[in-house]
Structure 1
Amino acid sequence: MALGARPLLWLALWTLAVPARSSREDADGGWRRPGPGAPAAVTEEEHCTVERRADLSYAEFVQRYAFSRPVILRGLTDNSRFRDLCTRQKLLASFGDSVVRLSTANTYSYQKVDLPFQKYVEQMLHPQDPISMGNGAGSGVPFHWHGPGFSEVIYGRKRWFLYPPEKTPEFHPNKTTLAWLRDTYPALTPSTRPLECTIQAGEMLYFPDRWWHATLNLDTSVFISTFLS
């Protein structure tokens, strides 16, 4: 399911929570990763096929990527202050009483549920199976496209699948990305597979206009996306 919120300023939050606390919680801002007993979720791809750049000038970005292909940007800015504001404790303190809207992220379903953000975080995060639009392990957004955009991971990891505008992916609009990964992805030939990569905390993905993309969250994930049109 997709999370929309009143004044969350385009902040999108997806979590894979387990009851037990772990030693990694502080590093992950309190957004816990699945523990050893948690149901298995998706993993990172075998080979990232999106370029990573840490030394990209504006001129090179425009020339090589802005209108033609995705790129992962890393180490360009210090987001430590924003990261500190996005811990579980601070987001609940700031927005716990705010009403957020859960809605299915697929194309043809429009069911919406309004509830307090604190209830969403504390009661509705659980591992997701491939046939449901849940809020836990394997949650994400099925294939869609829009204008160009940037998506930066603040906590956790987010796996992306991308196709250029001229290559419409094979997918069912009412099935989750997790179901697509299980049922369709294994049968794809090398020439029909998408570009794919897992975005780590502190990295930002740029995708050009009208590129198809789908996502899966591998851990507790807090990310912020900005669309240019």
Structure 2
Amino acid sequence: MKNRKTKHVKNGSSQNNNVESTSDSPSLSGLSSTALSIGAVSIIFLSIFVVYTSDLLPKTLRKSDLPPISTKGGWRLASDNVLQKFGSSKCTVTRKDAKYFTNAEFEKDFRFKKPLIVSFDNGASGWTTPESWSVESLKKEYGDWLVYSGSSLEIVRRGGNGNVESSFTEFVDQLIRSKDDKGEPLYIFDRMFYNDSSLPTTLKPPKYFEIKDGRDDSIFFLGASSSGVSFHKHADAWNGVIYGEKRWFLYPVNHTPPGGVYPGFTQIEWFEKVYPLLPESEKPIECVQKAGEILYLPEGTYHGTINMGDTVAIGIQRKKASTKQEKLVYEELNRRNSLNGKLSEKEKADTHTEILHLYEELHTLLPESTEVMMKLGQTYGEHGHVEKGLELTLKAIDKDPYFVLAYLNKADLLNKLDKIEEAEDSYKKAIELNPNLWDVHAQYGSFLVNHKRPEDAIKHFKRGIELSPKQQGFYNMLRHAQKMMGDDEEAEKTERLMKQLFNRRN
């Protein structure tokens, strides 16, 4: 299989050549790993960063229904069932015709202000060469190139990167037609494919969507119906759909999506469980983006998507933030990432203090943001201001009763205050909201181990393994709980299973 990361771009393309995400240009707002530390037990789910090849995917993958007959560019169009389930005629995003829309109007009325969809008389032909993005063309040119895909929630969890490695042809011929236990297909969310290809030479967007070397990053998207990405936000960006359709759910920077971020739900789970219960005041800005249209996302706009039909798209995103609040978000992430480096104890303490001050400033700028409330509350707890942290966390939950991760933070803070029963109730509430989120089972199981209840903890670690079978941390904690029970035979079985599963990748 050709390693396309070392392949030269054809035709000497200069647009975004060799652009990569850097430490000062985080792609998605949210946590990128889960570290749990409660009392005497600390578990870190290191395998969250593992890249899996397609042969290591969970055996629960099953073939989806037969694809619809209708295709365009070789890509499957959305079936009637898909359109009935996910389609909508509602559109609260401004639409403009590129023929009559000027750069001055864009800068005055939309830049950093509100989302926009731009349509073209000739569809995608108005800004690219659709034939270059067809199944036949992409497989011919890049069939043996590596691509990276993932599910909607896991892509966000990993900072906007897929974690399943396959060839492009393997994805198109097999993985795109498969679904996991949650009914969600894998979605190519790849930050290198477009840059390494000759596709940049096909783009000719309007001036207001001009692409500049060094300033802009790019993402290649490809997924089947019901694939997509969960809520996140980042610097200024636009997203152009060449084939397929994409339903967007948007919230302004000061309005965290109900359910919270980083997500407590996959986008499909959110659409099915949370969206129908929302009052009008909590409903998102939304629209279905058609093939050939470009959607502009102002910096800091929360967004989640669901694809309809095989959807091929390109995203262009600025590397660095421009607005005051998003600069603070990026700075916080940079500071937190620096903690993974070689710092002295004093430098670590100073960095933690700087992170606290950044969240306090963000809270001043965005006082109604439940994401900021929850993260500031969590940070106060880390600094020993547990009561203050709990107060903010409770306020976030009061504003957003679907905020799964806020309930987990509430439980941790209550545990620190030795309010054990209340803490356990909060864990149970998180599980009630989303029993399919592996984080809740990891944290609740760890809590139970610390409170000498290994038998109860084992149930949650086993459930965590069912939900995320490649998380080595679950096996470690399961083995630990089995030893606490005195069940050496089961602990040895878990040890052997770990060697079978993880040694093959090391």
Deviates more, 1:181-190 or 1:51-60: 51-60
What's the CA shift for 1:132?
5.2
- Could you tell me whether the CA contact under 8 Å between 2:116 and 2:296 is conserved in 1? yes
**Residue aligning to 1:146:** 234
- 1:59 maps onto 2:104 in alignment: yes
Unaligned segments of structure 1, at least 5 residues: 11-16
Q: Summarize the Cα distance change of 1:104–1:146 in structure 2 as closer, same or farther, 3 Å threshold.
A: same
For residue 164 of structure 2, what is the aligned residue in structure 1? 113
Q: In angstroms, what is the RMSD of aligned CA positions?
A: 2.9
Q: How does 1:22-41 map to 2 (within 5 A)?
A: 22=69, 24-25=70-71, 28-35=72-79
Q: Which amino acid aligns with 1:83?
A: P
Deviation of 1:202 after TM superposition, in Å, equals: 1.0
When you count strand as a share of all residues, which structure comes out higher? 1
CA contact (8 A) 2:238 2:316 kept: yes
1:123 and 1:169 mapped to 2: Cα distance?
A: 33
Mean alpha-carbon deviation: is it higher for 43-52 or for 139-148? 43-52
> Which AA in structure 1 matches 2:174?
Q
Query: What percentage of aligned pairs have identical amino acids?
Result: 30
Are positions 1:102 and 2:102 aligned together? no
Deviation at 1:111, TM superposition (A): 7.8
Larger Rg belongs to: 2
Per-residue deviation, 1:76: 7.4
CA distance in 2, matches of 1:182, 1:21: 23
Answer 1 or 2: which has greater helix percent: 2
**SS of residue in 1 equivalent to 2:176:** coil
Measured after TM superposition, the shift of residue 51 of structure 1 is: 0.8
Residue identity matched to 1:123: Q
Q: Aligned partners of 1:18 and 1:137: how far apart in 2?
A: 11
Pair 68,39 (structure 1): closer, same or farther in 2 beyond 3 Å? closer
Q: Give the distance between the partners of 1:216 and 1:138, measured in 2 at CA.
A: 5
How does the TM-score come out when normalised to structure 1?
A: 0.82
Contact 1:144 1:212 in 2 (8 A): yes
Q: Aligned partners of 1:130 and 1:50: how far apart in 2? A: 33
Distance 1:154 1:215, change over 3 A: same
Number of residues of Structure 1 aligned to a counterpart in Structure 2: 215
After TM superposition, list the pairs within 5 Å mapping 1:171-182 onto structure 2: 171=259, 173-182=263-272
The one-letter code of the counterpart of 1:102 is S
Shift of 1:86: 0.6
Counterpart code for 1:113: V
| Residue in 1 that maps onto 2:251 | 163
> Using the alignment, how far apart are the partners of 2:107 and 2:136 within structure 1?
39
Structure 2 partner of 1:14: none
Q: Which amino acid aligns with 1:149?
A: A
Judging changes above 3 Å, is the alpha-carbon distance between structure 1 residues 122 and 46 closer, same or farther for their aligned structure 2 residues? same
8 Å contact 1:130–1:176 — kept in the other structure? no
Per-residue Cα deviation, 1:156-186 (whole angstroms, up to 9, x for no partner): 1001111000000112624211110000000
2:363 — aligned with what?
A: none
TM-score normalized by structure 2? 0.39
